[in-house]
Amino acid sequence: MTVEVITRITDILDGKKTGEKVKLRGWIYRTRSSGNIVFIVLRNSDGIIQATIKKGNLPENEFEDAEKALIESSIEIEGIVKEDKRAPGGHEIQVTNFRVIHFAEVFPITKDQSPEFLLDNRHLWLRSQKLTSVFKIRSTVVGAIHKFFREQGFYEFDAPILQPNQCEGGSTLFEVKYYDTKTYLSQSWQLYAEAAIFSLEKIYNMGPTFRAERSKTSRHLSEFWMAEMEVAWAHLDDVIQIAKDEVRFILHEVLDKNKRELDFLKRDREKLQPIAETEFPTITYREALKILKEKENMDVPWGKDLRTIEENKLMKHFETPVVVTNYPLEAMAFYKPPDPKDPETALCFDMIAPDGYGEIIGGSERSLDIEYMKRRLREMGEKIENYEWYFDLRKYGSVPHAGYGLGVERLIAWICGLDNIKDAIPFPRTMTRYKP
């Protein structure tokens, strides 16, 4: 079998093929005809390119097919690359052969449709230039996360998705019928990771995570991907530094590999680049309250988690993501220990993104105190016996350890400058949507 040479649109747009004969495959993105000429914009995973089909330049039946073929028909064309200032990307193809692989029916998506319609037709809307750009960036982000941890000697470790316990509070658990009993979809990889650090020491994972969020915000998904890490012998400051390095590493990778996509999404690269070069600040929750009080005249009562409105006000004073440590202990998950230097607060942190994208990372040191955790769990109405296996981890060579989880879609939404987190994941699941 001979391998056909298919030219990449990116090479044509970069001017590497001008004057040459090329062959391309793709789908019809736009089409219009006037008399003896058909203008088609061909779309494929590389981007879009204009193709001009002139009667007489190709067999008659192929010209007729070009006139007839509707948007999203799959096609294969051959032709000569010409520079043309009027064409999108400054180049076009003068077609000498036009073959239709499949004549599409009338495509249901046209201009100016509602977000709900586009979500109902997500399986088709995936083809849009916008989502294609976002998912190329998503691919870079996911690749960068694996690269970052592997280069630092972390092992990838997998936890079960079906879990009998909560990690982040029972109210957002998804219950699953499990034979004659019930279990839950994973809220976090963390508790199992804490078992594995005793063998692998430095581990990470990225996988689907589930939260039955009762909030319909532009930041919450019911199913999202979390990239988590856990390290033995580590304290809070150690993992905060890794979190900052990780986010900057990811930004570098995207800025390096996805210039076209960022430009298409109108994401200002000049704004992202300096963030990738800057060390992010760390403040405490107390300091955050002080900034809100002094600069925003906002009184946040001690003990409250920062809500969207407070986070956004706080972030007005920063250009880069900010790490906030030492949130009030009682509002925190059961495994977060008190800070001996400020026992009303926990040894924990969030990283908050600029521009209203909110918390992108949450992490902490882990409590080693079985009695403390039992008390916290009892207060939450949990069955202590379900956690005995977890307490075992504090009985046999316990070591200080810490870790965090990064919300992959939150990060992508910020990097891409999206209005809603739903566009950061291919098929979003929210409180009101689980289809298609």
Residues that bind ligand 4AD (CB under 6 A): 167-168, 188, 190, 211, 213, 220-221, 224, 226, 228, 359-363, 403-405, 407, 409-410
Residue 213 beta carbon to ligand 4AD: minimum distance, rounded to whole angstroms? 5
Q: Which is nearer to ligand 4AD, 192 or 249 (CB)?
A: 192
Sign, CA torsion 408/290/296/272: negative
Does 403 bind Mg ion (CB under 5 A)? Our answer is: no
Residue partners of 5: CB distance under 8 A and separation at least 6: 23
Of the ranges 10-18, 191-199, 279-287, 359-367, which one interacts with Mg ion (CB under 5 A)?
359-367
Q: Could you tell me whether strands 74-83 and 21-34 are parallel, antiparallel, or unpaired per DSSP bridges?
A: antiparallel
Distance CA 347, CA 53 (A): 66
- Give me the residue whose beta carbon is nearest to Mg ion: 362
Q: Is 363 in the site for Mg ion (CB under 5 A)?
A: no
Q: Write down the least CB distance from residue 17 to ligand 4AD, Å.
A: 42
Q: How far is the CB of 327 from Mg ion (least distance, A)?
A: 9
Examine residue 362 and tell whether it contacts Mg ion (CB under 5 A): yes
Contacts of 329 (CB under 8 A, 6+ apart): 336, 338, 343, 344, 345, 346
- For the purposes of burial, counting CB atoms within 10 Å of the CB of 134, is it exposed (0-12), middle (13-18) or buried (19 or more)? buried
Q: What is the DSSP string of 309-358?
A: HHHHHHHTT-SS-EEEE--BGGGS-TTPPEETTEEEEESEEEEEETTTTE
Instruction: Tell me how far, at minimum, the Cβ of 12 lies from ligand 4AD, in Å.
Output: 38
- Determine how many CB atoms are found less than 10 A away from the CB of residue 19: 8
Cβ of residue 297: shortest distance to Mg ion, in angstroms? 26
CB of 183 to Mg ion, least distance (A): 23
Q: In what order do the strands lie in the sheet with 202-210?
A: 155-156, 202-210, 223-232, 401-407, 358-365, 348-353, 322-325, 282-284
**Residue 407 contact, options ligand 4AD, Mg ion, none, Cβ 5-8 Å cut-off depending on partner type:** ligand 4AD
- Nearest 10 degrees: Cα torsion 18, 23, 29, 30: 60
Nearer to ligand 4AD, 79 or 358 (CB): 358
Pick what 404 binds: ligand 4AD, Mg ion, none; C-beta below 5 to 8 Å, kind-dependent.
ligand 4AD
Instruction: Write 173-179 long-range contacts (CB < 8 A, 24+).
Output: 173/212, 174/210, 174/211, 174/212, 174/222
CB within 8 Å of 416: residues ≥ 6 apart? 133, 134, 137, 262, 265, 267, 423, 424
Question: Which does residue 211 bind out of ligand 4AD, Mg ion, none, counting CB within 5 to 8 angstroms by kind?
Answer: ligand 4AD
CA neighbor of 78 nearest in space, from 3, 12, 18, 23: 23
Instruction: Work out what residue 366 binds among Mg ion, ligand 4AD, none; the CB cut-off runs from 5 to 8 Å by kind.
Output: none
Closest to ligand 4AD by CB, 66 vs 361, is: 361
Min CB(207)–Mg ion separation in Å: 17
Rounded CA separation 63/37 (Å): 9
Shortest approach of Mg ion to residue 228 CB, angstroms?
12
Whichever of 49 and 323 has its CB closer to ligand 4AD, that residue is 323
Residue with Cβ nearer Mg ion (89 or 328): 328
Identify which range of 102-110, 155-163, 234-242, 357-365 contacts Mg ion by CB under 5 A. Answer: 357-365
Nearer to Mg ion, 163 or 188 (CB): 188
The answer to whether residues 373 and 391 touch, using CB atoms and an 8 Å cutoff, is yes
Looking at the Cβ atoms of 211 and 248, the one nearer to Mg ion is 211
Residue closer to ligand 4AD (CB basis): 28 or 408: 408
In the bound complex, what is the minimum distance in angstroms from residue 290's beta carbon to ligand 4AD? Answer: 23
Query: Of 362 and 428, which CB lies nearer to Mg ion in the complex structure?
Result: 362
Binding site for Mg ion (CB under 5 A): 362
